[in-house]
Structure 1
Amino acid sequence: MTGTAAKIKHTGSSNEAGSPCYRCQEQKSAAGRAPVRIRIAVFFDGTLNNRTNTGLGEKGINRGVSYENALTNVAILELYYQQNPEYDHSLSIYIEGIGTEDDEADSSITAGTGWGSTGILDKVETGMTKVIGEISKHLKRDQEIECLHLDCFGFSRGAAAARNFIYSVLFGQQNTLKLRLQSSTHYVGEIKVKFVGLYDTVASYGLNHRNDTEELHLDAIRYAENVVQLAAAEEHRKHFPLTNINSAPHGVQLFLPGAHSDIGGGYPDNMDEVDHQIMFVCRRHGLKAADKAALAREREWLLASGWYYEDEIQKVDQWDEVKVTRKGISNHFHRIPLKMMAELATENGVHFSAGLMSDFSIHHHLKEIEAFIRESPLDSPEYWLALNTDMIKKFRHDHLHFSACFGSTLGCNQPQFTDDDIVHGHRKREIIYG
Structure 2
Amino acid sequence: MSIEYFVEGKVIVQTKGDNISFSKGDIVYNSEKSIIQRGAETGVSYGEPRKIHPNDKPINGLEISLNLFFDGTGNNKSNTEVRKVGNNYYKKHSNKKNDSYENEFSNVARGFDATDPSAENQVTEYIEGIGTENLSSDNIVSGQGLGMGRTGVIAKVTKACMKAAAKLKRYRGKKIDLLKVNVFGFSRGAAAARHFVHLACTPPRISYSQGKNILKVFPPYHFPEAILSITDSDGTKLPFIHKYGYFGAQLINSEMSIKKIVFNFVGLYDTVASFGVRHSNDTTDLGLDAINKANFVLQLASDDEYRKNFRLTNINSTNLHGLEFTLPGVHSDIGGAYRNGWEEPENSMHRYEEKTLFKSKNRSECERFQNILIDEGWFTFEQLRIKPISKSKIPGKRHLPAYYSLIGKRILSNHYDKIPLNIMFHYSKQFGIKYLETIIKNTHNIVGTLVPIYNQLLTYTNACNQKRNDYVKGRISGNYIIDMKTINYLDFIKEEDLKKLRNEYLHWSVGYGELVNGENVSGVLPASQRKRKIQNG
Structure 2-normalised TM-score?
0.69
- Decide whether the 8 Å contact of 2:315 with 2:324 is kept in 1: yes
Indicate whether 1:403 and 2:509 are aligned: yes
Indicate whether 1:215 and 2:285 are aligned: yes
Query: 1:47 and 1:204, CA in 2 relative to 1: closer, same or farther beyond 3 A?
Result: same
Distance 1:116 1:227 in 2: 28
Query: 1:423 and 1:353, CA in 2 relative to 1: closer, same or farther beyond 3 A?
Result: closer
Equivalent in 68, 77, 83 of residue 102 of structure 2: 68
Alignment of 1:6-405 (within 5 A): 6=7, 36-60=62-86, 61=90, 63-64=94-95, 65-82=99-116, 89-109=121-141, 110-136=143-169, 138-140=170-172, 142-173=173-204, 174=218, 175=241, 176=245, 177-249=247-319, 250-270=321-341, 271-281=350-360, 287=361, 291=362, 294-318=365-389, 319-355=402-438, 356-376=440-460, 380=485, 383=488, 389-405=495-511
* Per-residue deviation, 1:321: 3.5
Kindly provide the amino acid, as one letter, of the partner of residue 372 in structure 2. W
Aligned to 1:422: 523
Distance 2:499 2:340 in 1: 19
Distance 2:57 2:488 in 1: 47
* Per-residue deviation, 1:18: 8.3
- Decide whether the 8 Å contact of 2:383 with 2:410 is kept in 1: no
- Decide whether the 8 Å contact of 1:294 with 1:424 is kept in 2: no
SS of corresponding position for 1:329: coil
Distance 2:513 2:378 in 1: 19
Deviation larger for 167-176 or 238-247: 167-176
Aligned to 1:413: 517
Distance 2:66 2:449 in 1: 36
Kindly provide the amino acid, as one letter, of the partner of residue 340 in structure 2. D
SS of corresponding position for 2:407: strand
- Decide whether the 8 Å contact of 2:357 with 2:406 is kept in 1: yes
**Aligned pairs, number:** 399
Distance 1:100 1:8 in 2: 44
Kindly provide the amino acid, as one letter, of the partner of residue 123 in structure 1. K
Distance 1:327 1:160 in 2: 31
State, as a whole percentage, how many aligned pairs show the same letter.
33
Query: 1:18 and 1:328, CA in 2 relative to 1: closer, same or farther beyond 3 A?
Result: farther
Deviation larger for 173-182 or 47-56: 173-182
Kindly provide the amino acid, as one letter, of the partner of residue 334 in structure 1. D
Query: 1:9 and 1:328, CA in 2 relative to 1: closer, same or farther beyond 3 A?
Result: farther
- Decide whether the 8 Å contact of 2:334 with 2:420 is kept in 1: yes
The two structures, once aligned, show a CA RMSD in angstroms of 3.0
Aligned to 2:45: none
User: Which has the higher relative contact order, 1 or 2, with Cα contacts under 8 A spaced 6 or more apart?
Assistant: 1
Distance 1:381 1:298 in 2: 28
* Per-residue deviation, 1:89: 1.7
Distance 1:157 1:18 in 2: 38
Deviations 1:205-249 (A, max 9, x none): 010000000000000100000000001111111100010000113
* Per-residue deviation, 1:423: 6.3
Kindly provide the amino acid, as one letter, of the partner of residue 305 in structure 2. E
SS of corresponding position for 1:205: coil
Kindly provide the amino acid, as one letter, of the partner of residue 96 in structure 1. E
Kindly provide the amino acid, as one letter, of the partner of residue 147 in structure 2. G
- Decide whether the 8 Å contact of 1:313 with 1:322 is kept in 2: no
* Per-residue deviation, 1:382: 9.3
The answer for unaligned runs of 5 or more in structure 1 is: 11-15, 27-34, 282-286
Query: 1:384 and 1:401, CA in 2 relative to 1: closer, same or farther beyond 3 A?
Result: farther
* Per-residue deviation, 1:187: 2.5
Indicate whether 1:431 and 2:463 are aligned: no
Query: 1:5 and 1:24, CA in 2 relative to 1: closer, same or farther beyond 3 A?
Result: closer
* Per-residue deviation, 1:335: 0.7
Kindly provide the amino acid, as one letter, of the partner of residue 427 in structure 2. L
Deviations 1:78-113 (A, max 9, x none): 11112697xx62100000000111110011111111
* Per-residue deviation, 1:179: 3.6
Distance 2:203 2:359 in 1: 45
Kindly provide the amino acid, as one letter, of the partner of residue 523 in structure 2. I
- Decide whether the 8 Å contact of 2:191 with 2:288 is kept in 1: yes
Kindly provide the amino acid, as one letter, of the partner of residue 261 in structure 1. S
Query: 1:292 and 1:172, CA in 2 relative to 1: closer, same or farther beyond 3 A?
Result: farther
SS of corresponding position for 1:342: helix
Distance 1:55 1:23 in 2: 48
Deviations 1:268-306 (A, max 9, x none): 00154454111124xxxxx3xxx5554333212111111
The answer for unaligned runs of 5 or more in structure 2 is: 12-22, 27-55, 205-217, 219-240, 342-349, 390-401, 465-483
